[in-house]
Amino acid sequence: MIYIHIPFCKQKCSYCNFHFSTSLQFKDEMLAAIKKEIVLRKDELQNKTLQSLYFGGGTPSILSGDEINSFIDEVLKYFSFASDIEITLEANPDDLNKSFLKALSSSPVNRLSIGTQSFFDEDLKLMNRAHNASEAEGSIKRAQDFGFENLSIDLIYGSPTSNFEIWKENLNKTIALEVPHVSSYALTVEPKTALNDWILKGKVSNPREEEQNKEFYYLSDFLKDNGFDHYEISNFAKPGFYSKHNSAYWKYKEYLGIGPSAHSYNGLDIRSWNVASNQQYVKKLNSNLLAKEEEFLSIEEQFNEMIMIGLRTMWGIDLDRLNEFSSRLVECFHNEIQPKIEEGLVIIENNHLKIPEKHWFMADGIASDLFIV
């Protein structure tokens, strides 16, 4: 699978620490550099038949329909598409006007991931989103009108401007709109963001973990009651609408990340990442050089990644795969796992190690306790 990072946004969300620029001055140079990277790295993926192509960012919907199609054409020069390929475009609600959707509907893009975040203006203002509540709802309806059934929306819970009743209304609206996939995250305060600065200055209250915990479990119960599977801590889907792209990440498959700050993985022991600088990225590619660094994962690091990623999913970790690691690691792991089993924090079911869903809000902490050091 291939991920293409489009590093541009109209404006900076208050909570975001992803790599992007709000200046489009050198957009053409960037798009040319990304296409050149596709050429230079065309032989890195073992499987030339793609199951997934994902445009992320940044805000890929800042591009025109022609620009998106030109990237797809470039990828098709070196790879083939599976008959049921999932081609996802991340999009902001304010970009999904009729003209843009018409162009997309005649393109190979068949899945939209819409950055809704909330259906309430007060939340959206705090987040400094470019859209309002009306656009949040209208964009989904317009996308459906243009034939996009495979839709995912992002929702953020635990905002200082929100409360439990507002959160319930966000979820009711999601069900009413018949969206088949939801990615939902607690509002996280990251360093070097406007939100962090506002909290430090006392302008905004800190998100409360207790409230986020409550809203997370309500989210899970509510969506499951409405026909969704809770297949990863932050992801919910109706049957047939699981994200192929994200599922591949969680199942340790190889992927190629193109564009500044994008990450790649060979499915075994090598991770790489591109420089998080538009200027340096373009400069390198203009010289026919890759703007990436890479690391070789030790056996311990591979083991720990499998623990961290696998325990976030409903599938858990196949114990047969863990047993393929060295006997020393497996023995250490079993010594660490037994107290967690006795506490009920993890279970073994059908030869898979899992965290019971009632403990998923603590999953990262549970997993880190099981790391081999």
pLDDT of residue 47: 87
What is the Cα–Cα distance from 244 to 249, expressed in whole angstroms?
Answer: 9
pLDDT tens, residue by residue, 334-367: 888 889 999 999 999 999 999 999 999 889 899 9
**DSSP letters along 187-234, please?**
----TTSHHHHHHHTTSSPPPPHHHHHHHHHHHHHHHHHTT-EEEETT
Burial class (CB in 10 A: 0-12, 13-18, 19+), 287: exposed
Burial class (CB in 10 A: 0-12, 13-18, 19+), 208: exposed
pLDDT tens, residue by residue, 85-141: 999 999 999 999 999 999 999 999 999 999 999 999 999 998 889 899 999 999 999
The yes-or-no verdict on residue 20 having pLDDT over 80 is no
Q: Binning pLDDT at 50, 70 and 90, where does residue 58 land?
A: confident
Q: What number is the average pLDDT over the span 229-258?
A: 94
pLDDT of residue 197: 86
What is the Cα–Cα distance from 1 to 251, expressed in whole angstroms?
Answer: 12
Domains of the chain in start order, with CATH, are 2-250 (3.20.20.70), 299-369 (1.10.10)
Q: Binning pLDDT at 50, 70 and 90, where does residue 84 land?
A: very high
pLDDT tens, residue by residue, 194-223: 888 888 888 888 888 889 999 999 999 999
The yes-or-no verdict on residue 23 having pLDDT over 80 is no
pLDDT of residue 208: 87
Q: What are phi and psi of 103, to 5 degrees?
A: -65, -45
Task: Strand 352-354: give its sheet, edge to edge.
Answer: 317-318, 352-354, 347-349
Q: What are phi and psi of 116, to 5 degrees?
A: -65, -55
Task: State whether residue 160 is helix, strand or coil.
Answer: coil
pLDDT of residue 280: 95
pLDDT of residue 120: 94
pLDDT tens, residue by residue, 296-335: 999 999 989 999 999 999 999 998 888 888 888 888 888 8
pLDDT of residue 31: 96
- The dihedral through the CA atoms of 19, 312, 167, 174 has a sign that is positive
Q: What number is the average pLDDT over the span 156-185?
A: 95
Q: CA 306, 307, 311 angle in degrees (round to 5)?
A: 110
**Are the beta carbons of 337 and 311 closer than 8 angstroms?**
no
What is the Cα–Cα distance from 22 to 10, expressed in whole angstroms?
Answer: 5
pLDDT of residue 167: 96
pTM exceeds 0.75 for this model: yes
Mean pLDDT of the chain: 92
Closest CA to 304 of 324, 333, 327: 333
